[in-house]
Amino acid sequence: MNDTTSTAIAGHTAPRNEPGVTSLGLAAAAEAIRNGDITSEAYATALLQQARAMADIKSFITIDEDAVLAGAKNADRARSAGSAAPLLGVPLGVKDSYLTAGLPTSLGLDRLAHFIPQEDADAVRTIKDAGAIVFGKNNLVEMSYGLTGHNERYGQVKNPHARDRVTGGSSSGSAASVAAGIVPASLGGDTVGSIRVPASFCGVVGFKPTTGRWPRNGVAPISHTLDTTGAFTRSVEDCILLDRVVTREQAAEFGDGGSDLKGARLAFAPRQFLDLVDPEVEARFREVVQRLEEAGAEVVEVDLGDDFNALIQTATWGIFAHETMGAISEFLRRHDIPTTFDAIYEGLKPQLHQAWEHIVLPSGAGATSADVYQTALAVSRPEIQRRLNKAFVDRKAQVILQPTTPCTAPLIEEQATVHIAGQEVSYLALANHTVSASSVGLPGISLPIGLSRAGLPIGLELDAPLGSDRRLLRLARGVESVLGASSTAI
């Protein structure tokens, strides 16, 4: 493990792991603790052992073992006293962009390695209120600015399925820790794909709610227009549970079933989302579409226009870069974080420093002007929504389907430029599909749909209309039921 984690767990003898306990999903673990089948202390102890065994993937920056075990013992006492909190005694990972009271929050930066906030991010407070334990802080790309999982200070997060492959980013450690069986779920963040891309590469479920549905206060931002908090889990049911906890919605609103796809109307846009896709990923996607049709779903083909991808890329990346400086500066000021935007910029790794110089600083050659930014907000985004409404309104589709990523996880040594369908392209192409939902704030979820011939996970993304998160999660549960238990967690 990295420096912080090694110090935090030093001196403890690794316990003997309980067979199968680390494979429990969030809902199953919560139920087992609530029913007294296992204690929170025994479960936490097993997860800590798994964290040691999987230390080489560098999925955590900080784990305070003493605090985890103390929290587990407190949860067991609370259960004995009659508590039935929905996440009682279950440890969860938290991306290190979330403020956590009493636990270091680095934002992925060396200069904040020892910064300990006095407050929790709102989303962290909700899971704690529900009885969950913060297991540790997940590794991430510096300031959440990247799609591969590289961090100069805390190390490259490695894919649990193949240590020479990237995890995706920026929520790299969050996805890897769930896939590796270290935690049953983890909080992440998504601006253009930072939850769904690593979920696809690591073979877990990744949920990006409608922008603003989950609280964002206390989470280091990139763009107030695009940023969304969300989560990684091992099943859609676990995602539903976590969504209910964070939004404080009632369980009945999701229903108990929802696995029947008969009558469901799904859309896909091959000209837009199969244009640059590895043949093996496309073949698996088309096989899944066929299986959904055989299960009773109606799948309609839509065309979003020749310039749809260019429109999305230009508008969304322009908003992304233009808002970064102001969003970060305000976050640092509001939460009394002991650094400045300029200090962060000067301390960035060379590649990221160069990128910020080019697109984030107002003086940069690639910076988005105020006029272009306003056009993206006032003209491009409404046009993108109008195109998507061709599927959602005109064709009455409940979701749009696409491969989450156009390829499986690239090699770590080739992460600056990646190969997709025989072409060498920028790593930014890894978000070619996820960026469409981000552009207008739609809810999206990535589901694992099996492995490639090389044993690498493939993801399926479902995007739904604004505010239809509950319907999306119900449909995703139905898709998961049809496809079987596709989660490829280690």
- Contact assessment for residue 306 and residue 205, using Cβ atoms and an 8 Å cutoff: no
**pLDDT, position 17:** 42
Question: What is the model's pLDDT at position 260?
Answer: 79
For the beta carbon of residue 299, count every other beta carbon within 10 angstroms. Answer: 15
Whether 415 is in a domain gets the answer yes
Residues 351, 367: Cα–Cα separation, whole Å: 16
Q: Is residue 367 part of a domain?
A: no
Neighbours of 374 (CB within 10 A): 12
134 beta partners: 92
Q: Are 109 and 143 in contact (CB under 8 A)?
A: yes
- Residue 360, in any domain of the structure: no
How big is the chain by its Cα radius of gyration, in Å? 21
CA-based nearest residue to 265, from 132, 117, 446, 398: 398
Three-state secondary structure of the chain: CCHHHHHHHCCCCCCCCCCCHHHCCHHHHHHHHHHCCCCHHHHHHHHHHHHHHCHHHCCEEECCHHHHHHHHHHHHHHHHCCCCCCCCCCEEEEECCECCCCCCCCCCCHHHCCCCCCCCCHHHHHHHHCCCEEEEEECCCHHHCCCCCCCCCCCCCEECCEEEEECCCCCHHHHHHHHCCCCCCEEEEECCCCCHHHHHHHCCEEEECCCCCCCCCCECCCCCCCCEEEEEECCHHHHHHHHHHHHCCCHHHCCCCCCCCCCCEEEECHHHHCCCCCHHHHHHHHHHHHHHHHCCCEEEECCCCCCHHHHHHHHHHHHHHHHHHHHHHHHHHHCCCCCCHHHHHHHCCHHHHHHHHHHHCCCCCCCCCHHHHHHHHHHHHHHHHHHHHHHHHHCCCCEEEEECCCCCCCEHHHCCEEEECCEEEEHHHHHCCHHHHHHHCCCEEEEEEEECCCCCEEEEEEECCCCCHHHHHHHHHHHHHHHCCCCCCC
**Considering the domain boundaries, does residue 330 fall inside one?**
no
For tokens 């870069």, name the residue: 321
- How many Å separate Cα 126 from the centre of its chain? 18
Q: How many domains does the chain have?
A: 1
Write out the catalytic residue numbers: 95, 170, 194
Q: What is the pLDDT of residue 484?
A: 84
What distance in Å separates the CA atoms of residue 145 and residue 221, rounded to the nearest whole number? Answer: 10
Is 338 inside a domain boundary? no
- Report the alpha-carbon distance of residue 471 to residue 465 in Å, rounded: 10
Provide the residue-wise pLDDT of the chain in tens; the chain has 490 residues. 444 443 333 333 333 444 589 999 999 999 999 999 999 999 999 999 999 999 999 999 999 999 999 999 999 999 999 999 999 999 999 999 999 999 999 999 999 999 999 999 999 999 999 999 999 999 999 999 999 999 999 999 999 999 999 999 999 999 999 999 999 999 999 999 999 999 999 999 999 999 999 999 999 999 999 999 999 999 999 999 999 999 998 655 555 445 679 999 999 999 999 999 999 999 999 999 999 999 999 999 999 999 999 999 999 999 999 999 999 999 999 999 999 999 999 999 999 999 999 999 999 999 999 999 999 999 999 999 999 999 999 999 999 999 999 999 999 999 989 999 999 999 999 999 999 999 999 999 999 999 999 999 999 999 999 999 999 999 999 999 999 855 556 6
Say whether pTM exceeds 0.75: yes
Which residues are 187's β-sheet partners? Answer: 94, 231
In a domain, 476, yes or no: yes
- CA–CA gap between residue 304 and residue 311 (Å, rounded): 11
- Alpha-carbon distance of 389 to 267, in angstroms, equals 11
Measured distance CA(280)–CA(78) in Å, rounded: 50
Provide the token pair at 243.
């969504």
Residue 50, token pair as written in the block:
């798994």
Peptide bond before residue 83 is cis, with ω within 30 degrees of 0: no
Burial class, 182, CB count within 10 angstroms (exposed 0-12 / middle 13-18 / buried 19+): buried
**CA atoms of 277 and 289, how far apart (whole Å):** 16
**CB atoms near residue 270 (< 10 Å):** 16
In a domain, 335, yes or no: no
| 441/155 Cα distance (integer angstroms) | 31
**Which strands form 457-463's sheet, in the order they lie side by side?**
60-62, 133-138, 91-95, 186-190, 228-233, 205-208, 444-451, 457-463, 399-403, 265-268, 298-301
Residue 127's domain comprises: 3-308+372-483
Residue 345 belongs to some domain of the structure: no
User: Tell me, what's the pLDDT at 426?
Assistant: 95
CATH number at residue 47: 3.90.1300.10
What six digits make up the tokens of 466?
């604004």
Which tokens is 352 given?
């990221």
One-letter amino acid at 296 equals G
Other Cβ atoms within 10 Å of 482 Cβ, number: 17
Side chain identity, residue 220:
A
Q: What is the pLDDT of residue 251?
A: 59
